[in-house]
Amino acid sequence: MASDLDNIRVVLVRTFHSGNIGSTARAMKTMGLNNLILVNPNDFQLEQALQMAMSADDVVNNATHVESLYEAVKDCAVVTATTARTRGYDLPMLNPAQAAHGLCLSAKKQQVALVFGPERMGLSNEDLVHCTHRVTIPTSPDYSSLNLAAAVQTLSYEVFKQFCALNENVETNIANTETREMPSIENTELFYQHLEESLVDVGFIFKKHPGDVMKKLRRMFSRTQMDQTEMGIMRGILASMQKQNPSNPKK
């Protein structure tokens, strides 16, 4: 049965134990999620994964393998990172119900992803650059780190609950909620490239010594949650700036 849940993918980044990949597949399938993407798993053992997957062997067998998180999420409009600890990278922070609600709403029209980190280290700050939101499952302050597949189960359950709630009463939920079209990660990346190029053109940053201005601007823009139309306006402004600049060869 095709549903909005098909637009929600689970991404496992650099998973260490193949058994956790199987347990993840089982957790997903029980909650109606089937799209699994594996980013560079460590020493992937299909047999071990299938042992833990039980009847979710199709999810493991159909999983897509990619080399980078960017590749896994570049066509997505919402990419929610899951972290046990508060991280330096400053993304909008959601609780599980809010995260699931946002994912289900966006999945009505666009591709979205829920991203899980490696067992030991969790997601790195470089991974978080490609995410739009962050969610932490509340836990005891004494021990905040769930087993990877347990974290997948908890968040998949939240997604399934929200999906059922939205589909019971679709009209009221849509009427009350913002349904802006958000840019894909790929379009966001193109915007940042355009911004950097324009700042070089006007001499605000130097190509050879860019410093960390772009990093700070990325953080600032990720807090604004620009939608597709707003990003189009920004790209238009940058293009006009580039045209005005006498030193720009593209003029």
Residues in contact with ligand SAH by the rule CB under 6 A: 82-85, 116-117, 119, 121-123, 136-137, 139, 144-146, 148, 151
> Starting at the edge strand that comes first in sequence, how are the strands of the sheet with 64-66 ordered?
64-66, 35-39, 8-13, 112-116, 78-82, 133-135, 93-94
Cα(247)–Cα(202) distance, integer angstroms? 8
Specify the residue, 111 or 156, whose C-beta has the smaller distance to ligand SAH: 156
Q: Which is nearer to ligand SAH, 123 or 226 (CB)?
A: 123
Q: Quick one: CA dihedral 23, 28, 34, 37, positive or negative?
A: negative
Q: Closer to ligand SAH at the Cβ: 103 or 137? A: 137
Q: Shortest gap between Cβ of 21 and ligand SAH (angstroms)? A: 12
**Whole-number minimum distance, CB 200 to ligand SAH, in Å?**
35
Question: Contact, 33 vs 137, CB < 8 A?
Answer: no
Residue nearest to ligand SAH (CB): 122
Closer of 145 and 228 to ligand SAH (Cβ): 145
Alpha-carbon distance of 199 to 216, in angstroms, equals 14
Q: Taking a C-beta distance cutoff of 8 angstroms, is the pair 187, 59 a contact?
A: no
Determine which helix (DSSP H) or strand (DSSP E) holds 157, and give its type and residue range.
helix 148-168
Query: What dihedral do alpha carbons 7, 31, 34, 156 form, nearest 10°?
Result: 60
CB of 170 to ligand SAH, least distance (A): 29
Residue 11 vs 199, nearer CB to ligand SAH: 11
Q: How far is the CB of 103 from ligand SAH (least distance, A)?
A: 14
Question: What is the smallest separation between the CB atom of 99 and ligand SAH, expressed in angstroms?
Answer: 9
Contact 16, 45 (CB under 8 A): no
Strands (E), 67-111: 78-82, 93-94
Looking up tokens 């666009």 gives 110
At closest approach, how far in Å is the CB of 160 from ligand SAH?
A: 17
The smaller minimum CB distance to ligand SAH, of residues 13 and 53, is found at: 13
Q: Which is nearer to ligand SAH, 25 or 199 (CB)?
A: 25
Contact 134, 81 (CB under 8 A): yes
Minimum CB distance to ligand SAH, residue 20 (Å): 9
